[in-house]
Chain A
């Protein structure tokens, strides 16, 4: 390798065009592009041939056909006479229902456990560590089966239901809760909530201006909470309690009335929340540890109280570390909700698979899945990128 080279005064010899990086780059890209195009061409050719032989018409016309299957849970009106398209919409709504409720619960549990792991209380920290290490290291599908087969389906039948407080029952058909039935006059409640939010925003603006002008701090959180809870409650009683509660009624073989949460949803929801919470807990812990100690010490030496230090100095900086990985956990939870198919919860993937089996339109169904999940991913990451940019450190 290390041979002696003569350095002559003549101009350097031009490198061969084979070694020219520009030429090489173009050449390799052409080769790769040609290979990919040939591969796709081959696949498309095979697919059309296979579809022709199986007599499957491609296209999305099948969405208007009668589905012919029933669904155990749906948020909108649906029967077996509805179309495949409507069935898929039901599935999408069910996916979003379990994703949103799961995300809320997982965030709450995850923050509590993550903070708990940092607690100076030895016992609390240990319990939280055990929780995280257990749930992080077992498959989510196993957790779903645990709730579905291990806990919920071995509960007693309706006749020997487990009594819960507030007239609720738990048995192998699900969780039966009292249902609130709103009267005609109930429209005032959402109006009062909206009014409360407007009032809070207005007071917030006023408080900030006053603090900027005079330096006096307004107890915004407490006042805001009081308005947010107080106003709707007062309105409720002023409007003459426009709601009645329907308790679930126990009969021999089933439970009538009330509001039912089916075991399929319950197991999926519990499993996804507890599983994702363990990851969120680790993210929260890393975020809080990531704020250097000097920050809170500096805040104390400026005379801020511990609570204001936490709220004004530590949490904003910790959030900056927490938000990006938190986003990907939310997306993971949404994608993991497709495990619903293992317990028969009618989510998008489960209904898509039934549709696929009945119509044979595999490509179209997979395309729908991809569009929906990619859309959800892009929406979430777009929102989070915006939020992240807003929170990011502005360096000058």
Chain B
């Protein structure tokens, strides 16, 4: 040890000092998050003004001045419009949503048969929820039930005509039922079809590759509205005379083709991100093409593109609303159709109905996107850079 000649050595630590008054608590939070610079202050004040102008008005419209129950339009119209509300009144007409709620859910599905829709919905939820929670076992059986048994059972239950159930033509379906059926079937079809198209596009066989590219690029290049028109107007032309099929099925064909093309591009992105060594490793293990795709490449590729896949699902769910244009009534379509109901027509009806429909769509889409973020984190094995 060396001798140090230090004139002063502190022998005990000084006590920790409390943070300066302004650097703690609400004041500090406000200073750093809202009023950090002059520009920030101006922006914050503008934002507060905006909120103060819109939010109370909206809340009053939606909750305070709104009408929740009523028999007809009179509760939602002012005196001068032939109603009971004072002139100048403005509030949401939830009574309209309340009165039409069953229609928004089932469309014109016969009232005494609606238990069939309810049971389908219950089976859907009962099978879907355990599939989504990673901790619950028996995923393989669950998935088989959900993707193979459930659609067939749902078909017989919803359409009927067998086992003593009354036949309910799809022209009577409507509302959320149509939205859910269309998006579920299109989602279930589009994922395998998209994978096949994506593999085809990356195939070494020129004919297969060309066909896949043509299908993908043509469908992606045109709007969904025109694909739906094509499905509803041109499919009957393509089939032999006398062979027709249901408008519902035509919409389903259009939606599925459209979603498959988009899915194919998402999956292709994942396939391209897999390093070449994985393909070569699979080959050197003696795996054939389908084996190496099924066991090595696709599990990794699909995991990479989960956000893209879920985004496609969300897009598809939103796009089902376009079937309104070819004369079918999904949730948005049936809400829109009910604005024409003379017994409920009032200036407040459209806004209330649309906000309700928007809220339902929003819940489904937001739920899907949150779940995809959760899944992405869970499956992240740290191999991404």
Contacts and interface: CB of A to CB of B under 8 A. Distances in A.
A145 to B, nearest CB: 6
B198 interface: no
A141 B332 contact: yes
Interface of A: 25, 28-29, 32-33, 36, 43, 46-47, 49-51, 53, 119-124, 127, 133-134, 136-142, 145-146, 149-151, 153-154, 335-339, 341-342, 349, 352-353, 356, 362-363, 366, 369-370, 373-374, 377-378
Given A43-B238, A146-B354, A349 B226 contact: yes
A366 B238 contact: no
A353 B327 CA distance: 13
B101 interface: no
A345 B276 CA distance: 50
B332 A145 contact: yes
Given A46-B237, A139-B321, A338-B223, 15 more contacts: A28-B205, A50-B241, A121-B33, A127-B50, A137-B366, A138-B358, A138-B362, A141-B324, A142-B321, A142-B361, A145-B350, A146-B358, A339-B325, A366-B229, A366-B233
Contacts of B347: 154
A29 B210 CA distance: 11
B305 to A, nearest CB: 14
Contacts of A120: 32-33, 36, 40
Contacts of B121: none
Given A138-B358, A349-B225, A32 B351 contact: no
B221 interface: yes
B222 interface: yes
Nearest to A140: B318
Given A32-B208, A145-B332, A335 B222 contact: yes
Contacts of B325: 339, 341-342
B322 to A, nearest CB: 6
SS of A interface (majority): helix
Contacts of A338: 223-226
Chain B: number of interface residues, binned into ranges: 35 or more
B204 interface: yes
Nearest to A51: B237
Contact of A374 (B33, B205, B221, B230): B221
A121 B225 contact: no
18 contacts: A36-B211, A47-B238, A51-B237, A121-B33, A121-B47, A136-B369, A142-B357, A146-B354, A146-B358, A149-B350, A149-B354, A154-B350, A154-B351, A352-B226, A362-B233, A366-B233, A369-B222, A370-B221
